[in-house]
Every structure is written in C-alpha cells, then in structure tokens.
Amino acid sequence: MSLPLRQQALRKIPSVDEILSRSEIVELLKVHPRKVVVEAIRKGLRQLREELLHKKEFSQCGDEFFSFERLYPIFQKEVALQIQPRLRQVINATGVVIHTNLGRAPLHPSALKHLMDISKTYSNLEYDVEFGERGSRYTHVEEILCRLSGAESALVVNNNAGAVLLVLNTLAEDKEVIVSRGELVEIGGAFRIPDVMKRSGALLREVGTTNRTHLNDYQKAIGAQTALLLKVHTSNFRVMGFASEVSLEDLVQLGKQHQLPVVHDLGSGCLIDLTQYGLEREPTVQEMMKTGVDAITFSGDKLLGGPQAGIILGKKKFLDLFKTNPLTRALRIDKLTLAALESTLLLYLDEKKAMKEIPTLQMLSLDTRRLRRRGRRLLKRLSGIVNQRMTFTLREDVSQVGGGALPLQELPTIVMAIRPLDFSVNHLEENLRKGDLPIISRISKEELILDMRTVFDKEIPLLAEGIEKVLNKITASKEPNA
C-alpha cells in the first residue's frame, strides 16, 4: 500500500468518542463501568489499526472493514475479557497428575466446603475460644500432623521452599550446611536449593560427587563452622547406575556423634505407602520421622493432595525455634489454606478413604478399565459429529505423576487420539487451548492426545462440548490447511 493510501485508510478508523455515541455502546455502559468499556474500545481500535497496517492492498479495506457492525463484537469480547477473572478453570487432559502449571493438586470437596465456610465469616484463626484469649493459627493443624506422622511438633508455612528457607535461616545463618552435590536439586521455575540456601544466610558446603557420596565425605567436612547436615530427597529425578548416597539413618547417627541437627527436605511428601497400590516406592513421612531426624520439610500440594503449603515436622526444641523466627511471620500460612489443609489431613485418619477420595491419590490409582469406560463415554458423546476431517481412536498410553514426584513411574492409561486429516494438529491444539473452557492436551506423532486419567468424570460433557465446538469451527473454516 502506498503511503497516501495508507494514510487515507488510517483516517477512516473511527474515534473513541464516535464509538461511545452509538446506541449499542450506550446500552453497554448501563451494564459495565465506563472505564472498562472505554478501554475495550481502545483495544479494539488498536487491533483494527494493526490489522490495517498488515494489509497489502487498499482495496481490501472497504467501508465494511471499518463498520461498527464489524467492530462491535470485538468491543463486546474485550469487555468480557476485562471483567472475567484471569485465573480460571481448565480441563487437564495432559495425563500429568500433579501438574505444577495447572495448579497441582485439586482439592477434596470437604476441603472446599471448609474453605468456603471459613472464608465467608469470622473464625477462631488466632483466638482460643476455651480461654477467651489470643491463640495461634498453627495449632489448628499441629495436632493432626503430629498424630499422622509421629512427630513431636509441627509448623506450616506458605510453601516448601519457604519451609527450607526458614529452617536454614534459624539453624545455620552465617554458618555452614553440609549437603551432597548429588542433592543440589532445581525445584522448578529455575529455583535451586543453593539459591534458597544463599538467601537464608547459610553457607553451602558441598561434599561428594554428583553420583556418589559416602558417609566419610560428610565426616571430613564437619568443622567449627558446621551448623547442620542437610539431606535433600531427589524426588524429581533419579541417579542410576554407578551411584550411591548416604541413608538418612546414617546421617542422623553422624549428627548425634557431633551434636549437629540433621534436616531432611523430603520434597513431595507422602503419608501413605504407595507400593501397596501398585506404585513405585516413595519414602513416607512416617518412615523418615522414625529415623530420629531433627526436622523434615515437604509440600502440601503434591502427593499429599492438599493446598500449597510448606510443612515442617520434627523435634519440639527445634520447632519452637522456627516458630519464634521473625521470618515465620513473613512466610505464614493464611486462613483459607489452613482450612483446606486441615480438612485434607483429616481424611488421612482413614487411609483407604484417603486413597479413594483425595483427587490426586485417586487419579494415581485408577486402573485402565475405569479409564477405558471414561474414554468410551467421551467417544459416545462425540459420535454425533459428522466429520470426515479427523479420526478418533481410544488406545493405551502412559501418564506421568508430575510435581517432582515418582519421576520413573509410568502409569498405564487410556487416551483419545485425534488425528486431523487435512489440517495441522497444532491448529487443533491451539483452538482447544483457547476455547471458552481451555482444554490442555499434548501432541504426539501428529496426533492430539487427551489422557483420560486427569479428566474428571464430571468434565466429560464439558470436554465433549469443547471438542465439538472447535471441530465445527475448523470444519466450517474456509482455510482447511490452516
């Protein structure tokens, strides 16, 4: 487009005031705040301008291109985007059970109810109703945590990185912490144990090698500046082959010999022996406490199946120190998380019930028969689609645990594989992801994969509706090779 023609076209873009004078916009202003509508108009006009600048021929930009009838739906969409929450529900069809990017553990209905009850009114968060005086928020979950784990005392903060930060700052500020090189893990989002340790004020003292560390390595590193011995469970990876590590039991004994506290960052944290349900072994919290370790930390929203939280268990003399550290105030847990965590922990009083009802544990233990039934329900709902542009197939595959837990575990699963015949699978994936209810899937060998393990039964109708909308949209498209 030549410069004069481009300028002519740009002058045809209506002003914000022109748009605001339209009767349809006046009606819109009766329902929505003026600043929301004005911003929506500005965004819509910016889109129009950008679209115009990408045109090569002015002939493509007739009066219809600038018409209010064409622009009004764009303004409506922009208004809707502004007033709806950014954090919203998605359907997880990836097969990754503890999906960090999708919010990790879904909560049990009892946790949701308790959270709702506590959030809509006042509560005894920090009030002792028996004595009529100030109480502590941490007492609400301390007793149940100690009962389930066998620990002397407990404390909960906002997440496990915060728990590790608090423990190291309390026990080892300006002093050395000895840890194996093979346990200096990255916990996701580019956050690494050495970085957390540095922020705590503790000094890192690495021992051993990436694949082999011996008790003697710790022994030789102990000196006047040593404050504690740290063991980090490599829950998100495994070193295989020519490898060895020092057991927590041996490290505890070494700590006792030198009167040094031993801390174990358990990472994911599990209260149930998963091997009895056909899963790989993951050390349980109870097993770790029996070693005599002084303190352990783990997450609340991974294998535990609760809300995000950093749980610290251990000996009372150390937990009392953590509780009085000013950092505890900065890292403290809020009432909504406490409510959800308490309800989740209460389910563990009946292990079978916990395994059956806590969503994360339930998904991990689902067998392929139930998953196949779920897949058939979806296939049946999609059977009415007359579409020659793609194929649907139910087949076996594997799911992943995710969340930095059981990294070698492959869970047999059933997936629906959708193979587009005359358009790209990436186009299909993008449209599903950008739908009103985003459907998050994965692509494998030019097929779109929907894993039934992480799709809840109640989501099957919603999933089918979302797929049907997208497939109808693509089928009606004039660009089959998009």
**pLDDT, tens only, 329-361:** 999 999 999 999 999 999 999 999 999 999 999
Cα separation, 41 vs 19, in Å, equals 8
| pLDDT at residue 44 is higher than 60 | yes
Tell me what the mean pLDDT of segment 154-159 comes to: 96
Confidence (pLDDT) at 226:
96
Q: Which residue has the higher pLDDT, 182 or 321?
A: 321
Q: Are strands 191-192 and 390-402 parallel, antiparallel or unpaired?
A: unpaired
| pLDDT at residue 181 is higher than 70 | yes
The tokens of 277 are what? 């349900």
Q: How many CB atoms lie within 10 A of CB 140?
A: 20
Question: Are 416 and 440 contacting, i.e. CB atoms less than 8 angstroms apart?
Answer: no
Collapsed DSSP state (helix, strand, coil) of residue 438: coil
* pLDDT band, residue 190 (cuts 50/70/90): low
Question: Are 200 and 228 contacting, i.e. CB atoms less than 8 angstroms apart?
Answer: no
Which H or E element spans position 318?
A: helix 316-324
Among 63-67, 149-153, 273-277, 356-360, the range scoring the smallest mean pLDDT is 63-67
Confidence (pLDDT) at 482:
43
Collapsed DSSP state (helix, strand, coil) of residue 434: coil
Q: Quickly tell me which residue has 């890292």 as its tokens.
A: 331
* pLDDT band, residue 187 (cuts 50/70/90): low
* pLDDT band, residue 238 (cuts 50/70/90): low
Tell me what the mean pLDDT of segment 30-55 comes to: 89
Among 186-190, 336-340, 472-476, the range scoring the smallest mean pLDDT is 186-190
Closest CA to 393 of 429, 419, 420: 419
| pLDDT at residue 233 is higher than 60 | yes
Confidence (pLDDT) at 405:
75
Tell me what the mean pLDDT of segment 41-68 comes to: 77
Confidence (pLDDT) at 480:
46
Tell me what the mean pLDDT of segment 260-280 comes to: 92
Confidence (pLDDT) at 312:
98
Question: How do the domains of the chain map onto residue ranges?
Answer: 5-83, 91-99+364-477, 109-357
Confidence (pLDDT) at 118:
96
Q: Which residue has the higher pLDDT, 42 or 8?
A: 42
* pLDDT band, residue 234 (cuts 50/70/90): confident
Among 5-19, 84-98, 222-236, the range scoring the smallest mean pLDDT is 5-19
Tell me what the mean pLDDT of segment 119-142 comes to: 95
Closest CA to 334 of 118, 158, 164, 166: 158
Closest CA to 308 of 91, 456, 106, 165: 106
| pLDDT at residue 241 is higher than 60 | no
The tokens of 145 are what? 């945590």
Tell me what the mean pLDDT of segment 275-283 comes to: 89
| pLDDT at residue 105 is higher than 90 | yes
* pLDDT band, residue 64 (cuts 50/70/90): confident
Cα separation, 455 vs 377, in Å, equals 12
Return the CATH architecture of domain 91-99+364-477.
Alpha-Beta Complex (3.90)
Confidence (pLDDT) at 403:
77
* pLDDT band, residue 62 (cuts 50/70/90): low
| pLDDT at residue 189 is higher than 60 | no
Cα separation, 164 vs 168, in Å, equals 6
The share of the chain scoring above pLDDT 70, in percent, equals: 91
User: What integer best gives the mean pLDDT of the chain?
Assistant: 89
Among 60-64, 164-168, 260-264, the range scoring the smallest mean pLDDT is 60-64
Spell out the CATH class of 109-357. Answer: alpha beta
Which H or E element spans position 296?
A: strand 295-299
Tell me what the mean pLDDT of segment 472-477 comes to: 75
| pLDDT at residue 456 is higher than 90 | yes
* pLDDT band, residue 1 (cuts 50/70/90): very low
Confidence (pLDDT) at 438:
97
Among 100-114, 295-309, 378-392, 406-420, the range scoring the smallest mean pLDDT is 378-392
Cα separation, 63 vs 72, in Å, equals 15
Confidence (pLDDT) at 251:
94
Confidence (pLDDT) at 388:
67
* pLDDT band, residue 235 (cuts 50/70/90): low
